Amino acid sequence: MDLERELNPEQLDAVMHPGGPLLILAGAGSGKTRAITYRIAHLVHDMGVEPWKILALTFTNKAAGEMCERIDKLVGEASGLWALTFHSFGARLLRRHADLLGWGKDFTIYDDRDSKRLGKLILEKLDLDRQLYKVDRMLAAVERAKRKLRGPRQSGLKGPQRDFYILYQRSLKAANAFDFSDLIMQANFLFDRHPEVLEKYRRRFEHVLVDEFQDTDRAQYTLLRMLCPPGANLCVVGDDDQSIYRWRGAEIGNIMGFASDYPGCKTVKLERNYRSTAHILQAAGLLIHKNSRRHPKALWTEMEPGPPVEKFQARDEREEAGLVARGILKIVQQYGFSLGQVAVLYRVNAQSRALEEGMRLFGIPYRVVGGLRFFDRAEVRDVVSYLRLIQNYKSDVDLMRIMNVPPRGLGQKSRQRIVALAEEHGCSMFEVMTPQNLSGFRKKEREAVLQLRRLLEQLGQEASASSASDAVEAVIKTTGYGRWLESMGTMESEGRLENIKELITAAQDMARGTGDESLEGFLEQVALLTDMDLAQEGQGMVTLMTLHASKGLEFDVVFITGMEEGLLPHSRSLDDDERQMLKSPGRAFPRAVEEERRLCYVGMTRARQVLTLTYTKSRSMAGQVAINPPSRFLKDIFQDMGKTSKAPLAEVVDIGGFDLDDDDEIFHGDMLHASDEETVDYSDEYSQLAGDDGLDDLVGRTVVHQAFGKGLVSGARMSPHGPMLTVVFNSVGTKTVMLDYVKMK
């Protein structure tokens, strides 16, 4: 490796650090991943450190995988290197030592939905009023306690919340399961209660490197500090200006106080930006410099200045959506960017509704990030529950999910009776499913329960000697789940069947990526997947996403919408800071608003070439119209707010009140709306038409509309609202429809 040629001076300084604690303050787009991977490669290639003595921690499986690929290209295969997320690291420790804490090593990992299902059962057992004690709030209180490494009796929770935590944790242990927060908390307990285990891993890992350090919470940092005492070879990489997950427990104090926690720490600043133009960096710098709690940094670039950052005001959210859509078309045409390199960012998910309408109106294909993930779909979760059960029969949450899926005559009452029996005998639901325990059941019901047990045992035996992909295939076939979906004979059931078959491919892909074909390994990978691992760049589609979801990504063109007080910064942050000021007059600083400013900064630094900020005079949200002043962040960036353009990038179009020709009657049917529940891909090749060219080719084509069924296109033309078709439908006669709302046969 020619490090001096491939790294800038600051990166080289970080990579060549001989040992001891190292803090790398890496500004946005400054090549932090390059620095950390080259440091690992330098340790292995030049310093002779064995790869298995290195631990690299990050926050997504995707980032960990990419890190390993880069290192392998630099030094060859780095066999034995642990490149993991914090949660994967905790899971790996517990797979080896869970028995020391009273769990079996074949434990199940519960995700958020599993925890919620278990939480609802506990509320029922405690006979708590569901209106007063919401399961989400109860679980949030438990999670906050776990992030502070506090068990039920040390949590500070009182009354029903404390009782809930006690019973929740007791139920997890009875099911031989850990929830996501347990993976970190229990790993801490393992090191704390078993010094011999801690010493083993201290001796093993001579070098520990942590990426995205600004996102660590108290439990993660405590685990890290136990593993790496002062003086250890601990390298942390992060940017305090991009700490935006306080609501998830991330503590900016970890990176701000690192040098104090590790005396003699060397600090290296990476300030050269390789992503954004000078104009974008200047605007982002003006914004973030207003924050009081940060390490001073000044990003710079050798790139061209690029187009100036612009701001535009719209009348309301509908006009804003039209403005953005027109702006996208103009910028793409002017600079030659692809639609896949355009992102529209917003503070809250509810803003996407109007923006989606704008995209559809102008025929711009788009995708919404943050919709329903593949592994969150009901049919996929059903199959995964079967797989988890045959690995761990004690998982009551999974057994309750699949007990009557596909239908086998075991409804809600049957489930309740088995739950009651399990509580009476002090064991899991599976263990109580025996002929002697079921003597009080009706014959048909008893046989259905016993048949389910035999089915699970059969699958368990088959899975013990097969790969994860074979186990998936066996579940689909042996349980009758695949036949059940086929028997429905609907388009929806066909799609669901395709999804569970895709799970076979997912298992094969994960096996190739990890080298582990086992069912246990596959289920662990599924449980530890994050939103960022599942985000993929849309081909030819504009990306709509929240500012939080945009972290770690970059686009040629970025629009940040909703730059208004009460939205960005959000009203909750304003209220939070006001409460803190009342509690501690003269001592509290606006930490919530500062995080909102960091969030805006993150969004701005996603842009490579073009950045546009928009805001409205009024905005309808949650059934109410709000009239808010422009965001204070705009005032931080632009010295003269009076120069705001009230004209859009092209012609302003209000998407909520366009006029139609007298003979036009537009039908949208019952098209699925992309929201937090679904991701809709409007990428049909014809939806990208921007003129009359090609429209004549549609005449005579057969189309299918969700509401009207099949029809024949008798005419096609371009309207101000996009391509319009005149279609003679078999069922309802002639209608005019927008091209986006039909499928071509």
Which residues are catalytically annotated? Answer: 32-33, 211-212, 242, 606
CB 243 within 8 A of CB 215: yes
CB 325 within 8 A of CB 362: yes
SS3 736: strand
Residue with tokens 């929240």: 546
H-type alpha helices, 515-630? 519-527, 531-534, 571-583, 591-604
Q: How far is 744 from 741, CA to CA, in rounded Å?
A: 10
Q: How far is 534 from 61, CA to CA, in rounded Å?
A: 10
Q: How far is 130 from 125, CA to CA, in rounded Å?
A: 12
Q: How far is 530 from 527, CA to CA, in rounded Å?
A: 9
C-alpha distances out from residue 359 to 354, 368, 397, 688, 713, Å = 9, 11, 41, 11, 24
Tokens describing residue 682: 């409007």
Listed in order, strand segments (DSSP E) in 599-692 are 607-616, 619-621, 624-626
Q: How far is 272 from 605, CA to CA, in rounded Å?
A: 13
Q: How far is 586 from 635, CA to CA, in rounded Å?
A: 25
Strand order in the sheet with 207-210: 82-85, 54-58, 207-210, 234-238, 22-26, 266-270
Q: How far is 551 from 244, CA to CA, in rounded Å?
A: 9
| Closest by CA position to 141, among listed 111, 166, 105 | 166
CB 550 within 8 A of CB 606: yes
- Backbone phi and psi for residue 110, each to the nearest 5 degrees, phi listed first: -85, 130
Length of the chain: 745
SS3 444: helix
SS3 370: coil
CB 97 within 8 A of CB 188: no
Q: Produce one character per residue of 464-494: b if its CB has 16 or more CB atoms within 10 Å, e if not.
A: eebbbbbbbbbbbeebebbeebeeeeeeeee
CB 209 within 8 A of CB 15: no
CB 374 within 8 A of CB 380: yes
